[in-house]
Structure 1
Amino acid sequence: MVRNGGAAWAGTWLGLENNLDFSTLNAIKMDVWTEAPIGTEVAFKVEGNGGVHKQLITTTTVTGAWETLSWDFTGEPADYYKLVLLFDLGNVGDGTATSTFLFDNIVQYNTATASVKDFEIDGLMAYPNPTNGEWKISTNNQEIEAIHIFNVLGTKVISLNPNATSVNVDASSLTPGVYLATITTAEGTSSRKLIKEL
C-alpha cells in the first residue's frame, strides 16, 4: 500500500465470508515491511453491521525490514466481518518509501499457544549484499524449497524452487533498489532485505 495524499485516516480493507470468532483465536498478527520511521502507528480495525467496530493500534519497532505486528482482541464478540488496515494513522502520505507499506500473512491465532516472532532459519545468509550481479543465499543444512523476491511495491520479481542448501540468485536484470526475499525451508519461512546496486 502506497499512501499518497488523501485523508490522514485513509486505509484499506478486506471483507470476510464469515464473522471472526475471538473466543479461541483471540488475536491477529500480520507481517509488515516499511521504511517509515520506528514508532510509526499501524492500526488494525475490525468492523461489523450497524457501525460496530474495534480499533487497536501498535507501532513499528524496525525500519527497512519485515516484522510481525500483533493486536489482541480478547473478549470481543463474533460480530466482525471486515478487516481495516490503517498505516501511519494520523498522517498524510507523500508517496515516498516512508509512505509505502508491504503487508502479508494476516493470521488469527491464540496468544496462549502461539508465538508472533518470525521463524529464523539456521545459518541463513544472503551475500554479497548489496550486489550488482547475484546474491548467494545459503543455510547451514536446511534445503531451501522456495525463494520469492519482491520489490518495494510488493511485486514478485523472482521466484525459485531450488531444493538446495545454497542458491545463486541472478539480480543482473533488476532495477537498482531495495528488495525483500522470503526464503522457505521445510521448517519455516524467513526474510532478508536485499539491495541491488548500479
Structure 2
Amino acid sequence: MKKIYLLAVFALGLGLSANAQFEDDLEVYSTGPLFTPRWTTWSGENTGNENVIISEDQAFDGTKSVFIDNVGGGQDAILDIGGLKTAGVWSLAWKMYIPAGSTGYFNIQGNVTPNANDNQEFYTGNITLVAGTMSDDGGSTDLVYPEDQWFDFSIELDVDASTYELKLNSSTGGVQTKGASATGFGGADFYADNSTNNYYVDAVRFAEGVLGADDFSGDVFSVFPNPVVNTLNIKSAIAVDNVTIYDVLGKQVLSVNPDAISPSVDMSALSSGAYLVNVTIGNASKTIKVLK
C-alpha cells in the first residue's frame, strides 16, 4: 500500500504545467467501486451503488478509466477538487467516451463538503450528452461530440465573475452565468439518471487558470508497448525533446534527449517493475505509467 501511495503522489507531481493542481492517475486504483477523498459520492457515503467504477473496458491513457452507468440503481459520484474555490479562474478537463446508443449526464458543483446532498449547490445546469449532442440547461450552446470515440471536455470557471464556459474538443458553448445556489466551485457530479447512461472518463486534470492548447495534451503522443520488454516506442507528430524515467520512489533511472519524431527508448537495462515516463514536447509535459 505504501508503494502505491508513493506512486500516486509522485505521478501527480510530474508532468504538470506550473498552474496545475492535479492530474489523476487512474492506473493506481484497483478495478471496481472507488471511494477516496477525491472520488466521493452524492451522499458522502461509501454505498457501492453511488461510487464510480474503475474499469478496464475502455481507456484513453493506460488500461483504466472511470465508468458510469445505471446498473444497481444508478451511480451518483462526486469528483472533489480539494476544497471550495471562492475566487480566481479554474479549469477542469477530462477525456470522455460514450458508446453509440448510450448517453451521459453530469454537472459542476459548488460546495461538496461534507457532501453534495446536504449543500445542493449547482454551479452549472444539468449537462446531458445524447446522440452526439451535448446540451446544458444552464444556457450553453449545444455542442457536437463523436460517439464511440474519446473526445475532450473542459470547463473554465471564473469564480470572481460568477461565470463558466464549456468546451468540447475545439468548440465552445459560450460564457454562462453560474447557478444562484453555488457559493463557489467545488467539484463535479457524475450521475446516472436513466437506463441509457453509460460512459467512460479518463485523463482527469484540474488547474488554476486557463489550460493552454498544449497543457495536459495526452493526444500529442502515445507510448507502446505497455508492458514493455526492452524498447519503449513513442509515437508523436512532432519532435520529442526529452524522456525521463523514474522508479516508483521518485528516483530518476534514465534520461534521454531524442530531439526526434517518434523516437524509441532502450529500457533493457531496467529491472522489472512499474516506472513513470515523463515525456516533454516543447512546453508540454506529461507522465505516463509504464510496466516492464
Relative to the length of structure 1, the TM-score reads 0.48
Relative to the length of structure 2, the TM-score reads 0.34
